[in-house]
Amino acid sequence: MPELPEVETVVRELNRKLKNKTVKSVSILLGKIIALGPGVVSPKRRVTSYKVKKFVRLLKGQKIASVARRAKLLIFRFYPGNKSVSSLSGPSIRLRRTRGTLSQMGEGNIVVFVHLKMTGQFIFFRKSELGKQVRIINKASAPLLSMPGKYTHAVLTFTDGSKLFYNDVRQFGYLKLVVGKDLEHVHEFKEFGPEPLDKNFTIRQFFTIVKNARKRKVAIKQLLMDPKFVAGIGNIYSDEILFRAKVKPERLVRAISASEKKAIYKAILFILKKGIDAKGSSVGDFIRTDGSWGSMGKHHFVYGRAGLPCKVCGSIIKSAKFGGRTGSFCPNCQK
């Protein structure tokens, strides 16, 4: 699943490429990947043709104002003013805990929230690149595919001829369109903790988060992966954060010392920034918006390396289950 550095990479690239582009047409090739309204998107999604047509109608002709992120959620904001939207919109409201580009929403705004889940991808091609082929799986042996391909479920065509393709092999991701007065009721925003790279995420705040979790019998790795405590950290980066902090993932939160908490906090900032600089970890299905791969995987010390020697001490990397997820660690470097 793409985590904060991967989603941030996609957001930065799409914001640069899509800002001020106008949607000429929308093609939904798999109805269940779209949703309307702020509610929870059910795993058992049944979307009528009427909803698909409404989604397409609302999005057609819209002009992209920005692409932002909250935790692992992509946020496409469109300029107000489209007549087909204004009648559905409510008064100006304010969303809390969002990035600056989304903090003030006005009447007539449309927002599309996208969760990539396990295998969601965005590929953007300019008009001159539409014949380009890419590998949507991170294996050298994977076939080169033209877009749209077998796993392309939505296509946005812009007035300049460029196209945005949404691919999703496992079909868990979604595109949810929300309008005006419903923005304050978007379910996902109520579930997210602080952004770890926000200036307000201080060591004092992190200490408070850990303190509040001490009553729960929870391992430190599980805490880091819980978006209600810290947003956007998943299996990959929790492994790498704890390796850098020299803390074993199974350690209970209540047994973590003050010095170890400080080391974990510093490791969160270092590892996530490094992941963003490397354009994400291309493991599994993550690819950048031009079809290229991120390079953070080359810098992994423990994630995905179970059975291999530690790059620092030579001990064999081990793995274990943590809340249903497999985590990896060095039994010698981490205490």
Please check whether residues 24 and 146 belong to one and the same domain: yes
pLDDT of 82? 52
**What's the pLDDT tens digit per position in 192-246?**
999 999 999 999 999 999 999 987 789 999 999 999 999 999 999 999 999 999 9
Q: Given its phi and psi angles, is residue 117 left (phi above 0), alpha (psi -120 to 50 degrees) or beta?
A: left
Q: Is residue 274 one of the residues assigned to a domain?
A: yes
Q: For the domain that residue 42 is a member of, what is the CATH number?
A: 3.20.190.10
Average of pLDDT values for 169-189? 90
Range of the domain at 104: 4-190
Average of pLDDT values for 7-31? 98
Q: Is residue 223 one of the residues assigned to a domain?
A: yes
Please check whether residues 175 and 244 belong to one and the same domain: no
Q: Is residue 335 one of the residues assigned to a domain?
A: no
Looking at every residue in the chain, the average pLDDT score rounds to 91
Contacts 24+ apart (CB under 8 A), 79-87: 79/109, 80/106, 80/107, 80/108, 80/109, 81/108, 82/108, 82/110, 84/57, 84/58, 85/58, 85/109, 85/110, 85/179, 85/180
pTM for the full predicted model: 0.91
Please say if the pLDDT value at position 140 is more than 50: yes
**What's the pLDDT tens digit per position in 79-99?**
986 544 543 433 333 333 334
Please check whether residues 160 and 216 belong to one and the same domain: no
Nearest residue to 133 via CA among 154, 147, 120: 147
The three-point CA angle 330-332-333 to 5° equals: 70
Tally of domains within the chain? 2
Average of pLDDT values for 138-162? 95
